[in-house]
């Protein structure tokens, strides 16, 4: 149980366009989801906390107007990278904490390449 | 958030036990210790968690120091598929699924055949 599905797994977009990444909790309700970013050979960096029905909470240094988060239901959070640039190329991972079985579950990640 | 520190890398031989340490000296009384591992180009995978007592599951064992300022993840017989980056994180006990955790640099485990 406690599966998080993330799509797409890989996306290539042109500079200046926007990309949406979806994260769904399949068998549990997640009022909170977390979005991470990971550069090669580095650890996961928490970008923001997505809250169902309210505004996301962004970590220091993360541009909220560039990384738009929507959490419209108890099972779906989306991250939209707006006006993407090559420096936004990274591995994006979503996560949710399931009370049962009491641990974080992570999506499989999205490899974003901006050309 | 309380911070965790881990060695950058460790090596093990296949079918031998591996002990991965984690220091969390600023842990609070309500922080659970969680371990996850990440294979290349994948999201992290849950391994084990605990609060005070040692824990065992089918993947690993978790040994928690009596003062809770450190813990050790034990893989009893390492296989090549256990080669990954292992992260030790803390998560405050809450009755909701809120509550963020911060990842440190983790330990890259190499398993030699």
Per-residue pLDDT of chain A (115 residues; tens, 9 = 90+): 789 999 999 999 999 999 999 999 999 999 999 999 999 999 999 999 999 989 999 999 999 999 999 998 999 999 999 999 999 999 999 999 988 888 999 999 999 999 9
B74 forms bridges with which residues in the sheet?
A: B19, B61
**What does the block give as tokens for B30?**
């309500």
- Chains A & B: contacts with CB separation below 8 Å: 65
Residues 26-85 of B with CB under 8 A from A: 32, 34, 36, 41-46, 49
Contact (CB<8Å) A108/B91: no
Q: In whole angstroms, how far apart are CA A79 and each of A26, B46, B85?
A: 17, 23, 25
Please count the CA atoms within 13 angstroms of the CA of B107 that sit on its side-chain side: 25
Interface test with B, best of A25, A28, A31, A44 (most B CBs within 10 A): A44
The one-digit pLDDT tens for each residue of chain B (113 residues) are 679 999 999 999 999 999 999 999 999 999 999 999 999 999 999 999 999 999 999 999 999 999 999 999 999 999 999 999 999 999 988 777 778 888 999 999 999 99
């Amino acid at each position: 149980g406690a599966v998080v599905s993330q799509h797409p797994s890989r996306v290539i977009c042109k500079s200046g366009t926007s990309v949406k990444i979806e994260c769904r909790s399949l068998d549990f309700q997640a009022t909170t989801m977390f979005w991470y970013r990971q550069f090669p050979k580095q650890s996961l960096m928490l970008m923001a906390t997505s809250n169902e029905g309210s505004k996301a909470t962004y970590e220091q240094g993360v541009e909220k107007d560039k990384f738009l988060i929507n959490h419209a239901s108890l099972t779906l959070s989306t991250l939209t990278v707006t006006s993407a640039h090559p420096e936004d190329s990274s591995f994006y991972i979503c996560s949710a904490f399931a009370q049962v079985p009491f641990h974080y579950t992570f999506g499989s990640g999205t490899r974003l390449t901006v050309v | 958030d309380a911070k965790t520190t881990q060695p950058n890398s460790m090596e093990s031989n296949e079918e031998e036990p591996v002990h991965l340490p984690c220091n969390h000296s600023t842990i609070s009384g309500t922080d659970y210790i969680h371990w996850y591992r990440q294979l290349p180009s994948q999201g992290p995978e849950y391994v084990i968690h605990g609060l005070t007592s040692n824990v065992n599951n089918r993947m690993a064992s978790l040994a928690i120091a009596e003062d809770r300022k450190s813990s050790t993840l034990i893989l009893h017989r390492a296989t090549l598929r256990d080669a990954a980056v292992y992260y030790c994180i803390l998560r405050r006990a809450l009755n909701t699924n809120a509550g963020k955790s911060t990842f440190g640099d983790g330990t890259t485990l190499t398993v030699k055949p």
